Amino acid sequence: MKLGARMIKTGLAISLSIYLAMLFQLDQPVYAAIAATFAIQPSIYRSYQTILEQVQGNLVGAIFAIIFVILLGNNPFVIGFVVVLVIAANLKMKIEKTIPLSIVTVIVIMESHTENFIGFAIDRFLLIMLGVLSAFLVNLVFMPPKYETKLYYKISGHTDEIIKWIRMITRHASEHIAIKEDLTHLKENRFKMDQYYLLYKEERTYFRSNKYSKTRKLVLYRQMIQTTNKALELLKSLHRHENELYNMPEPLQELIQIKLDGLTNFHEQLLLKYTDKIRAQHTYDMDDAINKKALMKCIMSYYKNPENEEWIELFPVFALIIDYADQLEHLNTLVESFKNYHQDDSEVQLDQRLED
């Protein structure tokens, strides 16, 4: 099991919140630690959003708690009723994420039996906000997340897995059960790619010169994801039609293998090209890799031959191969454009690969 950055930051936020509570001589620092646990977020931008939302949500919880304790006391039924009201208020304000901590605020305030209730309530509210602030400071200073790096490596790793299986299927070397199990894992990786993309998209740029580069990168990474997803669709189709592919004439099998080898090699080299890991003169020629006209010519030659009716079973595969080639062609255009206009901004910090 790996110790991810978010796990470490959660522990640091808890420690910092307790130390700060002790420094300001606030009773029950454990409440600050609980708040820090709830408030830790995967990105700096979301941490900033959390502070704004938590201030609103916890302020609502504290106000409701104080009013109802003064009017009705702190009977367990009253506490439960106030919790319902606070949940409804948070939903109305569209700050649903603050509900758990708002409930904690209500409970820790309303459980008081002291005479100086107002002072006690303020003390508890400050403890909660101290925990939220501690989480923000830790996320801001310690190991700020590099979601571009995480996104690139997730795309690259996901693509490598897909390409590996495509090559094995076209050579009839894959185990049917093994690939079926791995497809579930590939679907999970697809979801993680989208998550990292959204987190990277949320990262703010503070200089105008970086804004245009970030916009181009977002378009480029989105196309990388779409191309990889198309490769996954192709893999699923090859998996479904594995028996039909095996029974096809050898020339047709060789055609599919050659075309997919060219496309997958080109896909790998595009990802390497983006990070300057491959020399320009050694990149795979796009026309040789894609060459949709030659592919369609071969397909139509089988279509016109009445003895080759079985080729129709693989029509979905051919369609996805052409679609995959289109996505690669568009990705190549975007990479070339980005390298021409933002050469200095195309570096990905390859040494930082901490997982959340």
**Domain parsing of the chain, residue ranges:** 5-141, 147-345
CA distance 16 to 130: 9
CA distance 81 to 79: 5
pLDDT of 185-220, one tens digit each? 888 888 889 988 988 887 766 556 667 778 888 999
Name the region of 58 (left: φ>0; alpha: ψ -120 to 50; beta: rest).
alpha
pLDDT of 156-186, one tens digit each? 999 999 999 999 888 888 777 788 888 888 8
Computed over every residue of the chain, the mean pLDDT equals: 81
pLDDT of 260-276, one tens digit each? 888 999 899 999 888 87
pLDDT of 73-114, one tens digit each? 888 888 999 999 999 999 988 888 888 888 988 888 887 766
pLDDT at residue 233, as a whole number:
93
Q: What is the pTM of this model?
A: 0.72
pLDDT band at 354 (very low <50, low <70, confident <90, very high): very low
CA distance 314 to 308: 12
Q: Is 342's pLDDT higher than 70? A: no
Nearest to 332 by CA among 293, 292, 298, 285: 285
pLDDT band at 117 (very low <50, low <70, confident <90, very high): confident
Decide which of 1.10.10.10, 3.10.310.50, 1.20.58.220, 2.60.40.10 is the CATH code for 147-345: 1.20.58.220
